[in-house]
Amino acid sequence: MIYSRFLLRIGCLSSVTVCLIHGVSEAQPLSKPNIIFLMADQQRWDAIGINNPHIKTPNLDRLARQGVLFNQATCQAPMCTPSRNSLMLGLYPSQLGIRSNGSHALGDSNLPCDPIPALLQKAGYQTAGFGKTHWGITDQPIGTRGFETRIVGAKEVGIEIGATQYQDEEDPVGLAAYRKEVANYGPGEEGVPGYLGISSKVPDRDHRDGYVAEKCLEFLDRGMDSTRPLFLYLSFLKPHAGLNAPKRFADLYNINDIPDTEQPPWAEEVDTHLAYSDKTNKFQNDRHKAWREKWSGMTPLERRRTTLYYYANCSWLDDYFGQVLEKLEKAGRLKNALIVFTSDHGEMLGERNYRFTKYCLYESSVRVPVLLSGSVVPEPSRGKIDQRPVELVDLYPTIAKVAGTKQQLSSPGLNLLSDQKHKGSFCEYHDSGAPAYMWRTNKWKLILFSNMPLKDDKTPTGSFRGELYDLENDPNEWKNLYNIQKYQKMREQLKTELLEHLAISFTGFPVGKG
């Protein structure tokens, strides 16, 4: 197993104590809080107004002011499929065996535990899911996994047997208009045209996110069951490229107010996990070459336009979130509620010599916004920014606790509404042909990576390399301190913490079947 070999290569383990979350006994369904789960795709931790004065997200900002914002949160993998499976099942990607977007995902019969919607359905909730889950590629049919009402959007996002509606079937003409607008954007809409951005000429409803949002709003008007608590899941595809939000959201911004993206003092990655990825992942490297050729020839004003369109995508989704919350409030569903907002991973947005998308362990890729709001958030926590290390797997035990149900496994996550605390946060990256692992505290980041696939490595430790960054004094992660003698003690301390964390997590649940 990859982790067993990893632990043997890097060093010895010591003991550490960690609290595992256990649910409470079942409560009566009508006494349970409604749980509203709002999610974006590829939204950076700083792409909300409360963290960035250049961006306009008034509805998310209001949730943060009324709740608690976790400003040191990270995902478990900087790509969609492993991150979203990890969030929904409360386990790390390698525990599930789903380590990349190309991993063979888990069929329904191989799930190690109930995903969040199934957990809540069994706890008496009405479960309604709108938008992206990205369970991944499997040779088994995937069902709705606990969602009673399930609207996926376009089938290209994923087919779930039993889903109520798809945009392809209900509005093929509108979806065709959207696809025509983005036809030259490239795979995942992340090619050069996808990041150059435009103000969309397609009606809002013809966008995949617009379709999903309208279906969610229709459900809130006519589909809620007044006899049961509600679990509502609304998950958008943007601000992930393509950057083609409606014009009125681009018009919210003055391009002269948006800063240019700062670039490093070196031209090429050297002895980093990203340098290794550049050598081994031809698809990603070719895309970076194309981005770099285009953006390095732009003026600062031209480069800012990409950032403007990314912000416009964020503002558009925020507007939909506001519409949904307004309907829920009018229906009385927010009087007793937990509201969650997060993203699956971040977006490089032109950093490190004009890189876009994610696929690395640097801050802009792995840090995500996590906020909890609503009446169940304790009064002393409201309006606070919580600086504890937080992971997306923490949302599973948090939601389970609020719903008054039991976890089925020992999860590496902690209840965010308690005073429990991780020593640091963990993330893993496997899309370069060899593993890379991150351990992050508020001040330091350690990255350990192999420069060759483990199956090809015949030496005990020779292929492993490292990166060490002082996040307080080097937030851009431009100065690798790993091999500097002055920082040896800190490097070894972080290694030990990482190994302890993995050993305990994998004792609770070993590698899965993905």
pLDDT in tens, 223-246: 999 999 999 999 999 999 999 999
Q: What is the mean pLDDT of the chain?
A: 91
Please choose, from the candidates 170, 135, 138, 136, the residue with its C-alpha nearest in 3D space to the C-alpha of residue 154: 170
Q: Which pLDDT score, from 0 to 100, does residue 459 have?
A: 62
Q: Is the pLDDT of residue 15 over 50?
A: no
Q: 21: exposed, middle or buried (C-beta count within 10 Å: 0-12, 13-18, 19+)?
A: buried
pLDDT at 69: 98
Q: Is residue 9 pLDDT above 60, yes or no? A: no
- pLDDT tens digit sequence for 382-400: 999 999 999 999 999 999 9
Question: Of 6-10, 44-48, 140-144, where does the model show the most confidence?
Answer: 44-48
Structure tokens at 49: 């107004």
Task: Tell me if the bond preceding 239 is cis, omega within 30° of 0.
Answer: yes
| 146-148-151 Cα angle (round to 5) | 100
pLDDT at 148 over 60: yes
- Tell me: cis bond preceding 136? Omega within 30 of 0 counts: no
Q: Compute how many other C-beta atoms are within 10 angstroms of the C-beta atom of residue 321.
A: 25
Q: Which residue has the higher pLDDT, 264 or 281?
A: 264
216-242: burial string, b at 16+ Cβ within 10 Å, e else: bbebbeeebeeebbbbbbbbbbbbbbb
- What's the CA dihedral at 310, 316, 320, 325 to 10 degrees? 80
| pLDDT of res. 410 | 78
pLDDT, residue 454, reads: 63
Choice between 22 and 484, residue whose per-residue pLDDT is larger: 484
Residues 306, 324, 124, CA angle at the centre, nearest 5°?
Answer: 125
* Nearest partner of 151 among 238, 61, 212, judged by Cα: 212
Q: Give the contacts of 323 (CB within 8 A, at least 6 positions apart).
A: 213, 217
Instruction: Set out the domains of the chain in order of their start, with CATH numbers.
Output: 2-508 (3.40.720.10)
For residue 348, is pLDDT > 80?
A: yes
* Highest mean pLDDT of the ranges 77-81, 453-457, 507-511: 77-81
Q: Which of 30-34, 294-298, 428-432 is the most confident on average?
A: 294-298
For the cut 80, the answer to whether the pLDDT of residue 372 exceeds it is yes
Tell whether the model's pLDDT for residue 344 goes beyond 70. Answer: yes
Residue 157 confidence (pLDDT) = 83
**Does the pLDDT of residue 490 top 70, yes or no?**
yes
Does the pLDDT value for residue 6 go beyond 60? Answer: no
446, 498 contact by CB (below 8 A): yes
Share of the chain above pLDDT 90, in %: 80
Per-residue pLDDT at 136 exceeds 60: yes
Selection from 159, 211, 209 nearest residue 41 by Cα = 209
What mean pLDDT do residues 295-306 have?
96
Segment 180-209 shows an average pLDDT of 97
Percent of the chain with pLDDT over 70: 91
